[in-house]
Structure 1
Amino acid sequence: MKHDWLIFDLDGTISDPKDGIVRSFNYALQAFDLPVCPEAEIAAYIGPPLDQTFIQLVGSHDPDLIQQLVAKYRERYAEIGYRENRLYPGMAQILAQLADAGQYRLGVCTSKRADFAEKILEMFGLRERFEFVSGGDIGIEKWQQLAELRRDGVISQQAVMIGDRAVDITAGQRNGLQTAGVLWGYGSVEELSQVAPTYLFEQPQQLGQL
């Protein structure tokens, strides 16, 4: 199939956000006298929406507590956390290659709030590569973001959703899109294989195969 849109997840796909996310999660937990979590435990949840991760970390569905934890997390993330982010090696080059080829239009669909995503892309000098940034928020699933983009005619049925977690792949599949799983982020081979993406890439340079 000829693709016209390449839709990228952000965290774990374009850049590695681990330091800022881990530190901001523990900042929020400490603020409510809750036990901090090891880096590896939090890293396993990078990708899904914040409220879902806090529910898992604290073992509570109390909406007031979860909302307060998310607000405290964002307090630190907005000031410091978004800057504690590293671009994956080779990512800037492959994005330039894909954009300059003239065959594709590029966009971002992330569970991260849009203003944070914009700041991160601007920090890396990548914002101009993307025609839009679709950001999430509490209570919004990624498949719903893609559905809105399809409904509004922003992207077409020939778009490819690219991401490192199963949620990225299933979001694309639910909207009838082809998908590409990437293995340099936080989703394992096992996790991605279980949801059967159209493509599975080990290095950013392989995105050129699209």
Structure 2
Amino acid sequence: MTRDTLFFDLDGTLIDSAVGITRCVAYALEQLRHPVPADAELRRWIGPPLRTSFGPLLKEPRQVELAVEHYRTRFESHGWAEHEVYEGIGEAVEALHARGHRLAIVTAKNEPHARKIIAHLPFGHRFEDVIGSTIDGSLSHKPELIAEAMHRLSLAPEQCLMIGDRHMDIDGARHHGMRNIGVLWGFGGEAELRQAGADHLATRPPDLRALLA
């Protein structure tokens, strides 16, 4: 029996990366002497591409690129390690791998940073590939990232399933007619995921095993 290939989002799905991401955003804005939004607002930056979030705030393309550079500087030194693995997600990944699923990461985080994080996770070796945004942002939105993942792994949409915590994950999957699961332990929440049209919702990491049985 051929099992689905599972595409996992990273931030808000495998790891709680709020501290690292929000501190790096704040650092970037401070370097540009721009007011830093409140923490609740900064949490909304977790999921979309950086340029999508910096753009409306900074307006000028050059300022946006400078902000991205400052963000990366702090992320490479500190931010990449400022996260916690969600309780139970490692066991779920191991169980799904043991069941015969191919696993890959599909994230809007830039690929070098994503690969660095995955390499340090105790279950990171279970992922066959890590597909992330390009440094220049030319590949950064979930529909295109999912398409790149299918291309690299030689898969069709009906062979895959996307798992993520934000509407972007569900939107990207639905763009390709791909099945999907929204997870409720991340940053999107039930209302966002239902509105996006998630096929299923997982309340806790162990629910993934039941939903994929």
With normalisation by structure 1, the TM-score equals 0.93
Tell me which residue corresponds to 1:43.
43
**Is the counterpart of residue 129 in structure 1 residue 126 in structure 2?**
yes
Percent identical across equivalent pairs? 35
- Point out where structure 2 has 5 or more consecutive residues left out of the alignment: none
Contact 2:55–2:61 under 8 Å retained in 1: no
**Displacement, 1:123?**
1.8
Q: Secondary structure at the match of 1:185?
A: coil
**Is the counterpart of residue 68 in structure 1 residue 63 in structure 2?**
no
Amino acid at match of 1:22: T
Tell me which residue corresponds to 1:120.
117
Q: Structure 1, residues 76-114: CA drift from partner, whole Å, max 9, x if none? A: 001100100110000111111111112x10000000011
Indicate which of 52, 77, 80 corresponds to 1:79: 77
Contact 1:161–1:178 under 8 Å retained in 2: yes
**Displacement, 1:21?**
0.5
Tell me which residue corresponds to 2:5.
5
Amino acid at match of 1:172: A
**Is the counterpart of residue 26 in structure 1 residue 26 in structure 2?**
yes
**Displacement, 1:153?**
4.9
Q: Secondary structure at the match of 2:103?
A: strand
Contact 2:11–2:46 under 8 Å retained in 1: yes
Kindly report the root-mean-square deviation, in angstroms, between the aligned alpha carbons of the 2 structures: 1.4
Q: Secondary structure at the match of 2:159?
A: coil
Aligned length: 206
- Tell me, in whole angstroms, the C-alpha distance in 2 between the residues paired with 1:131 and 1:114: 14
With normalisation by structure 2, the TM-score equals 0.92
Q: Structure 1, residues 118-164: CA drift from partner, whole Å, max 9, x if none? A: 11112222221100100113242111111223345533322000000
- Point out where structure 1 has 5 or more consecutive residues left out of the alignment: none
- Tell me, in whole angstroms, the C-alpha distance in 1 between the residues paired with 2:159 and 2:184: 23
